[in-house]
Chain A
Amino acid sequence: MVDSALNNAAEPRGPKPKRAFSRANIFIYGTLLLVSIYYLLPLYVMIVTSLKGMPEIRLGNVFGPPLEPTFQPWIKAWAEACTGINCDGLSRGFWNSVKILIPSIVLSILIASVNGYALANWKFKGSETFFTILIIGAFIPYQTMLYPIVIMLREIKLMGSIWGLVLVHTVFGMPILTLLFRNYFTSIPEELFKAARVDGAGFWGIYFKIMLPMSLPIFVVAIILQVTGIWNDFLFGVIYTKPDTYPMTVQLNNIVNSVQGVKEYNVNMAATLLTGLVPLVIYFISGKLFVRGIAAGAVKG
């Protein structure tokens, strides 16, 4: 806030606002505050519900703060909640998601960055065609590719395993990540590349010694994009894994929407919050980089 105030002072534009509480300002802030309530309400409801006991929930004030806050629902959601016959809570889904997430990120970013580098600096005959197909592929509904991928994964004996899902995430993350890296590498001054070529560096030499160290910010953007995307995935998880290897989102849905037993809304909300926690933390920590990632993903892709 201080920064932006200083910036405005440095370059005054237009007439200075005369009153802080003009009618226009009241309208603007009033609207923004009202809309903020709509956006914040679900998060608030999740938090307060997850801290209440069931008797308090049955009183029926979903917006009321917890009278006797308890962390029991959180513990139960993490360690005891049941899906089918397994009663070891969301923790299994969490660790599955971690096991899926890490190799997916490494593999997809490695491949996409090399793709982007090749497309930006080492064009070969047909490279632009493949790239165009890749980008068009990002718009094809996943449903038309689901079953052929099942067949391919069965052929390489990875159907139902975590590594199969890793491959699927790598494939479907490729269009947007390749685009991201290609555009970034294209913006690096060509003289650098030429100088390295003159010094005798080859494809991999230039990639590891020049491009990689220069493009750390874009790698961070790509990681943010992939962490949230893969963590939040449900469709691929439910199709390409089996109950033992279900990622967190699939397990969460099974816990909350299971038909048997008494519904424990506080445990459900604790489980929902636990699942949302990873992308939320990433979001609040990364701030501007997150926005940059989705802007790159959105406007360009």
Chain B
Amino acid sequence: MSVTTEPSAARDHAPVGKPNPLFKNLSAKLASIPMIITALVVFVGGTTWTVVYSFTNSKLLPRANFVGLDQYERLWSTRRWMVSIENLAIYGICSMILTLIIGFTLAALLDRKIRFENTFRTIFLYPFALSFIVTGLTWQWILNPDFGLQNVVRNWGWESFAFNPLNDPNTVIFGILIAGIWQGSGLIMCIMLAGLRGIDEDIWKAARVDGIGTVKTYLRIILPMMRPVIITSLVLIASGIIKLYDLVVAQTNGGPGIASEVPAKYVINYMFRAQNLGQGFAASTMMLVSVIIILIPWAYLEFGGRKRG
């Protein structure tokens, strides 16, 4: 992300002598109207509206009948929401760690000047082109206990083999995790590989002269140098995790029972199915708060660090 402001003095091509500054650069301003509307009305306006109405007791239709923090109290005492949060936490932590490890390892392996690099990269990245719905349905089929992986292994002769994550409330989130990592790790591999390619060849020469092994060089020298790339990857994975919705809908639809519910699904259920808008607004505001909690330290690292460095 680069929202740095370049000095714009050189690009100020205002015709001299126009009295009203409002008409300066008029075509550009007119052309930017869709952007301005999107930014102000949809993004700022829409978000503010949702936050404000999360303090109301809106049911089927939004009503400005303010009830303080009632919706939030109800939200945090709803078991379904607690399950959603817990699932998101497990999914989030596991997927962050695993995606980073897999992404970096694959990138490092591809970086070893190997043959067929393009083929391997194509294979690792193609799931990213697919819809979460496609991913979810495919893995639902592979993890099907009667016809899928479990049954195949049993047919091979291992009769007691049990691998049925999607039908067990305790493990269902890991079944979703398998699919999520399958889809998302290729992207991180790609970003990591770009980062590795950006590292100076001299670092490798110096490490070789000092007699440091390849693995050790990656872990002790290259990895710390990749900090910006890793932070970008983390932000990317994190923003994807909070949006987690389609995959769950396709793979388990929140089941068995409510065992694989996630916050994004909670919001949509309350807004568009249960006709309890206030509850949906409160839940979505909590999602917004969690994004802010993730984004602020990152923005601080990214932009605060740049000023110092």
Q: Give residues in A with beta carbon < 8 Å to B.
A: 1, 4, 8, 13-14, 24-25, 28-29, 31-32, 35-36, 38-43, 45-46, 49, 57-58, 60-63, 111, 114-115, 117-119, 121-125, 127-128, 130-137, 139-149, 151-152, 170-171, 174, 178-179, 183, 186, 190, 197, 202-204, 228, 231-235, 239, 249, 252-253, 256-257, 265, 268-269, 272, 275-276, 279-280, 282-284, 287, 290-291, 294-295, 298-301
The CA of A178 and the CA of B36, in the complex, are separated in Å by 12
| B284 contact set on A, CB distance < 8 A | 141, 143-144, 146
Which residues of B in the span 97-143 have a Cβ within 8 Å of any Cβ on A? 102, 105-106, 109-110, 112-118, 120-135, 137-139, 141-142
Which of A43, A256, A300 sits near B2, CB closer than 8 Å?
A300
Which of A122, A148, A291 sits near B50, CB closer than 8 Å?
A148
Which size bracket describes the interface of B in this complex?
35 or more
Within 8 Å of chain A (Cβ to Cβ): is B40?
Answer: yes
A123 with B8, Cβ < 8 A, contacts A1-B116, A42-B138 known? yes
Which of B1, B8, B142, B146 sits near A300, CB closer than 8 Å?
B1
SS of A interface (majority):
helix
A13 with B201, Cβ < 8 A, contacts A121-B11, A197-B13 known? yes
Instruction: Among B21, B105, B131, B243, find the residue whose CB has the most chain A CB atoms closer than 10 A.
Output: B131
Within 8 Å of chain A (Cβ to Cβ): is B45?
Answer: yes
The CA of A38 and the CA of B181, in the complex, are separated in Å by 11
The reply to whether A39 and B123 form a contact with Cβ atoms under 8 Å apart is yes
Which residues of B in the span 59-113 have a Cβ within 8 Å of any Cβ on A? 62, 102, 105-106, 109-110, 112-113
* Closest 8 pairs between A and B when the two form their complex, measured CB to CB: A137-B43, A203-B27, A122-B28, A232-B131, A148-B46, A283-B129, A143-B284, A145-B46
The reply to whether A234 and B132 form a contact with Cβ atoms under 8 Å apart is yes
The CA of A46 and the CA of B242, in the complex, are separated in Å by 28
Which of A63, A124, A235, A275 sits near B25, CB closer than 8 Å?
A124
The reply to whether A141 and B242 form a contact with Cβ atoms under 8 Å apart is yes
| A171 contact set on B, CB distance < 8 A | 38, 42
The reply to whether A39 and B132 form a contact with Cβ atoms under 8 Å apart is no
Which residues of B in the span 182-226 have a Cβ within 8 Å of any Cβ on A? 182, 186-187, 190-191, 194, 201, 204-205, 208, 214
Which of A152, A269, A291, A300 sits near B125, CB closer than 8 Å?
A291
| A234 contact set on B, CB distance < 8 A | 131-133, 245-246, 249-250
Which of B121, B155, B287 sits near A61, CB closer than 8 Å?
B155
A147 with B38, Cβ < 8 A, contacts A39-B126, A39-B182 known? no
Which of A61, A148, A197 sits near B45, CB closer than 8 Å?
A148
| B245 contact set on A, CB distance < 8 A | 234-235
The reply to whether B138 and A45 form a contact with Cβ atoms under 8 Å apart is yes
Within 8 Å of chain A (Cβ to Cβ): is B167?
Answer: no
- Pairs across A and B, CB under 8 Å, 24 listed: A24-B112, A31-B105, A35-B106, A41-B142, A42-B139, A45-B138, A60-B152, A114-B32, A122-B11, A123-B28, A125-B21, A131-B39, A147-B53, A149-B46, A174-B38, A232-B130, A232-B134, A239-B272, A252-B134, A256-B137, A279-B129, A280-B130, A295-B191, A295-B194
Can you add 9 more A-B contacts, CB < 8 Å, to A46-B141, A143-B268, A145-B50? A39-B123, A63-B152, A128-B3, A135-B1, A148-B45, A174-B34, A234-B249, A235-B245, A283-B125
| A119 contact set on B, CB distance < 8 A | 32
The CA of A124 and the CA of B46, in the complex, are separated in Å by 25
A298 with B132, Cβ < 8 A, contacts A36-B120, A234-B249 known? no
Within 8 Å of chain A (Cβ to Cβ): is B164?
Answer: no
Which residues of B in the span 274-293 have a Cβ within 8 Å of any Cβ on A? 277, 280-281, 283-285, 287-288, 291
Which residue of A has the minimal Cβ distance to B294? A139
Which of A13, A57, A252 sits near B147, CB closer than 8 Å?
A57
Interface 0/1 of B241-280, CB less than 8 Å to A: 0110110011001000000000010011001100001001
| B144 contact set on A, CB distance < 8 A | 62, 265
Within 8 Å of chain A (Cβ to Cβ): is B232?
Answer: yes
| A256 contact set on B, CB distance < 8 A | 137, 250
Which residue of A has the minimal Cβ distance to B32? A118
Which residue of B has the minimal Cβ distance to A250? B133
Q: How far is the CB of A24 from chain B (nearest CB, A)?
A: 7
| A139 contact set on B, CB distance < 8 A | 239, 291, 295
A265 with B133, Cβ < 8 A, contacts A32-B109, A39-B182, A295-B190 known? no
Q: How far is the CB of B59 from chain A (nearest CB, A)?
A: 13
The reply to whether A62 and B126 form a contact with Cβ atoms under 8 Å apart is no
Instruction: Among A127, A178, A272, find the residue whose CB has the most chain B CB atoms closer than 10 A.
Output: A272
The reply to whether B137 and A133 form a contact with Cβ atoms under 8 Å apart is no
Instruction: Among B31, B40, B236, B239, find the residue whose CB has the most chain A CB atoms closer than 10 A.
Output: B31
A145 with B208, Cβ < 8 A, contacts A36-B123, A121-B11, A295-B190 known? no
A38 with B182, Cβ < 8 A, contacts A123-B11, A272-B138, A298-B191 known? yes
Which residue of A has the minimal Cβ distance to B43? A137
| A253 contact set on B, CB distance < 8 A | 133, 137, 249-250
The CA of A294 and the CA of B236, in the complex, are separated in Å by 12
